[in-house]
Amino acid sequence: MSGDKQAAKSGQAAPAAAGAAPALVTLATAEKQDVPVTVQVNGSVVSLNSVDLRPQVTNTVSAVHVKEGQFVKAGQLLFSLDDRNDQANLARARAQQKKDEATMADLERQYKRSQELVAQNFIAKSAADATLSQLEAQRATVASDRAAVQSAQVALGYATLRAPIAGRIGAVNIYPGTLVQPTLSLVTVTQLDPIAVSFPVPEGNLQDLLQAARTQAPVEALVAGRKTPLIGRLDFVDNTVDPQIGTVRAKAVFDNADQGLWPGQFVGTRITVRTLTGATVVPAAALMMLADGTSLYVVDQARTATRRKVNTLHTFGTKVAVSGVQPGEQVVIEGSQNVRPGGKIRVDDKGAAPAPNAPGTPGTPGATPGSAASSDGSDAQPAERERA
């Protein structure tokens, strides 16, 4: 009895009793293949550029040059404000500049003449220096006038609002005669082509995701109503992981000339972050989730079943890539609840499933497909517990 207890403690059940009937099972062969590690999550469409257009000054709208939903080019005129006061200020600044430039030209002539008179000893040098001082002061005045003209031109430029980027105009609620101010948004210009899709990726795939970002790996966007996915490129991975949900935000860029993607739209995303080359693949039904880890039954040529621990590398569909099993080995996918380590098996050539009421049968509420675990959480077989 002590030997049976030691075997149970080590996770290995005692060998099958002599004369026990072989368990009826279904087998599958472990295969070798390249397995793409794919992350498929839901994401949302976001614009790469979206500008909220606001006026720089308080003024009255004189003309609206666009319609709602219109596509515009960068620099295209959108709104005109009342610019009469700015035009007058610019004209006044230019007139003052011309006046001061004329005075400066006269002082330059006076200074040149005074230098000639000093050379002929008709006037004192101090008189020429006084003229030079007046000339330098006038030059500074003219420089100030030029700056005033530039300032007036800038103020006049505020009277025309142009599209800062190419994109689509949103709702327009501004009309000629409306008084606008810097706190009021006139319209939003949103870039649609190219466009981006933002999606969360589990932090367990972070390193693979960073490597995929270096090569700008392709990303598929699965849009409702479209038969084929849109293909973009991974462009950005955020610099932090959200500690609350354990994901990192990624972004892919898509060409969107046909407006297949729209800002705020929810889409499915799929990206292959890496490929497991030459991995061993078995049906997921072969795995048993036991107290000491994940394992499965391997059957040799003598029809003897051996329980073997494995590591799950990646699950895809109804199959899973594992380590601990060699390609070509036979594994039990149905009937494992009736198998004991070291026991004999017989193959169900017709692929018949175990009895519906058998413990651990797939489809039984609370049971794991292919699991050998009992209802009390122990992985020992009923016959073994009786001997114990």
pLDDT, tens only, 281-321: 999 999 999 888 999 999 999 999 999 999 999 888 899 99
Residues 70 and 150 in one domain: no
Does 315 reside within a domain? yes
Confidence of residue 348 (pLDDT cuts 50, 70, 90): confident
DSSP 28-79: EE-EEEEEEEEEEEEEEEE-S-EEEE--SS-EEEEEE---TT-EE-TT-EEE
388: in domain? no
Same domain for 368 and 283, yes or no, is yes
Helix 125-157 and helix 84-119, axial crossing angle in degrees, nearest 10: 160
Residues 6+ away with beta carbon under 8 Å from 158: 55, 56, 57, 59, 81, 86
Is residue 332 assigned to a domain?
A: yes
CATH number at residue 75: 2.40.50.100
Residue 176: which domain range?
58-82+159-190
User: Could you tell me if residue 255 is inside a domain?
Assistant: yes
Q: Is residue 232 part of a domain?
A: yes
CATH of the domain at 114: 1.10.287
* Residue with token string 């494992």: 336
Q: Considering its fold, how many domains does the chain have in total?
A: 4
Asked whether the beta carbons of 139 and 104 are under 8 A apart, the reply is yes
Does residue 170 share a domain with residue 66?
yes
In sequence order, what are the beta bridge partners of 323? Answer: 311
For residue 350, the model assigns a pLDDT of 56
Structure tokens that stand for 350 in this block: 């017709």
Could you tell me if 14 and 7 are in contact, meaning their C-beta atoms sit under 8 angstroms apart?
A: yes
Same domain, 295 and 342: yes
In a domain, 2, yes or no: no
Statement to judge: residues 272 and 344 lie in one domain: no
The reported pLDDT for the residue numbered 19 is 53
Q: What is the pTM of this model?
A: 0.66
